Chain A
Amino acid sequence: MFAVLRDLVRYNNEFAIGLVLVAAIGIFALASLFSPVDPNLIFTTIPDQPPSAEFWFGTNSRGQDMFWQLSEAFRNSLVFGLTVACISRIIAITVGLLSGYLGGWIDRVLMFVNDIFVAIPIFPVLVLFYFVLRSDMNTVTLALIMACLGWAYDARLIRSVALGLKHREFTRHAVFAGMSTRKILLQEHLPFVMPIVFATFMNNMLWSIGLEVTLAVLGLTDINTPTIGTVLYWANSHSAMVVGVWWWIVIPVVLTALTFLGLFLLAVSTNEYIDPRSRLRRMGV
């Protein structure tokens, strides 16, 4: 595992750039643990200060130091993305492996449900949940809802791999040896789908953080918890661009773009590493 990482860093530029970006953002987000101010409070400092030696990222119109504000926001958003990705991976793996291994009517029913989930537009449903829950809509609830909605596509991918594993020699050995279905799936099949799980993990994080930004910017989440989206929401509601507090918008947008680019590059390059055909192409150069 470590050797693979080292090789990827050394010979795959995309992976190296992605790793540097994500690591930098990760460190920046973790810095919030040592924040000298409570980022949930407002008017703790002079408002509307441009970036300077004292306030690296400036301060906003609500009197918050943008450096610590953004640090906290990125930590919350990343944790949010990780939560959604973890839970939805568990659902996707369960459905995908069961469907692929058991086959028959269980497969058909699961894939039918899967197709429904793929076809239902998620955004209106999320808005609906906000409409109903209002102030009860906190980050954890949102993460749970999104995890329950965001597994379908990846479950299908995992199923297609599991279908192939079902007829392999070692599966038959395991069945003859009297292994239980649960054991076969967890011990024999799970390792084979882990690469896909890993690559889709980052795509799922991108998806969930992006959706959270979208919802938050519209004010459809808990706007009092700092996240990437809520920072932009407050900047908009104070017309930051119009009144000239540009750093309130530009810095978060640039940092967000870098985060997304980093995660995306990691996803793409691991995907390429997993897919032997693209590896062969690289050899051919």
Chain B
Amino acid sequence: MTSYFWFVAKRAVLLVAVIFFGVSATFFITHLSPISPVETALGRIANQSSFSPDAIEDMRRVLTDLYGTDRPLLQQYVTFWQKLAAGDLGPSLIAFPTPAMTLVMQALPWTVALLVVSTLITFLAGNLLGALAGYFQNNMALKAFGVVAVVLQPIPYYVVAFVLLILFGFVWPVLPISGGYAMDVAPGWTLDFMWSVALHAILPAVSLVLVGFGTWFLGMRALVSNVVTEDYVTYAELAGVKRSTIMGGYVIRNAMIPQVTGLAMNIGTVFSGTIITEQVFNYPGLGSLLIDAVFGGDYALVLAVSTISITAVGIAIFIVDLLYPLIDPRVKAE
């Protein structure tokens, strides 16, 4: 138990470091840029209606105070962390004066749900079929899966999402291709709303599953075909241990270990995929928000989305890491 505690402690230090460095990087990348959030904001406001130069000067003072851009960088950095701790990164520009954090928190559940559901489906289906394909290497149906996986695996998320959009948007329009839920349904814990959400999630989720499937399938197939040559599998076979036990308790159980590490390493990539998929299907998650923020020149919102993304991905990896000693008893002994 103590060794598990130390394992968790080590991982927790890493999590803190990831969040610290990642968030600091976002801060410095944005603050070392020549773009001033104040001027961007002023430009936007001035575009929408005409103001007197005095009024603009007033506004500039207010905004400078708000963003703190007149202070030295280091002080801004400290203030940034203080505000972040309070969950306040300033008002969003594109939805002024809604706080950027509020927008992020509205979008976060959509992305998390999409990511978790599609990752679980992909991970389970890919590994299960991959394991079968690695064990029964002469099965034709499983070989066919292998070919499909090889063809789909390397294709960028965008292309798969876009092909699905064309297929179900133009060729055979049976599924909703845009938004998180139908316009005529009021959000709430109603059956209608849930059904609409599920329906709208199908295409984004399917595109993520299609691309992700190959990674797990091919990885697991290769791992299993190596594990079946291990002495302990041969020995169990020689001893006449039940097939299902060998498959589950010996082969898959051991091949799973690197796959769980892979899952932790994969979360960042899948997150990138989610962003692009959301954009293609106009899904109301973090990805769409990030792109809108970039094109709206929304300084606070970009910072908020990046910060939360890095933190969320870090936490997700942390959670997967915690599972690791539970499936590999050898880790605890370290």
Contact = CB atoms under 8 A, between A and B. Distances in A.
A268 B166 CA distance: 30
Given A123-B271, A123-B272, A128-B30, 12 more contacts: A112-B14, A119-B313, A124-B275, A124-B290, A125-B26, A131-B30, A132-B30, A213-B159, A249-B166, A253-B162, A253-B163, A268-B150
Interface stretch (A24-32, A174-182, A193-201, A256-264): A256-264
Contact of A213 (B26, B158, B170, B295): B158
B182 interface: no
Interface of B: 14, 17-18, 21-22, 25-26, 29-30, 32-33, 35, 150-151, 153-159, 162-163, 166, 170, 218, 222, 225-226, 229, 265, 267-269, 271-272, 275-276, 279, 290-291, 294-295, 302, 305-306, 309-310, 313-314, 317
A127 interface: yes
Nearest 10 interchain pairs by C-beta? A123-B272, A132-B33, A264-B154, A210-B156, A260-B154, A121-B268, A119-B18, A124-B306, A124-B309, A121-B313
Contacts, number: 137
Contact of B275 (A123, A213, A241, A256): A123
A188 interface: no
Nearest to B294: A131
A154 B276 CA distance: 25
Contact of B151 (A118, A261, A281): A261
A131 B305 CA distance: 13
Interface of chain B, main secondary structure: helix
A238 to B, nearest CB: 15
Nearest to B18: A119
A130 interface: yes
A265 interface: yes
Given A118-B265, A119-B317, A214-B272, A129 B229 contact: no
Given A128-B302, A132-B33, A214-B157, A122 B272 contact: yes
Nearest to B312: A121
A130 B35 CA distance: 12
Contacts of A213: 156, 158-159
Interface of A: 112, 115-116, 118-125, 127-134, 153, 206, 209-211, 213-214, 217-220, 232, 241, 249, 253, 256-257, 260-261, 263-265, 268, 277-278, 280-281
Given A132-B32, A264-B150, A278 B268 contact: no
Given A132-B30, A134-B35, A125 B155 contact: no
A241 to B, nearest CB: 6
B237 to A, nearest CB: 15
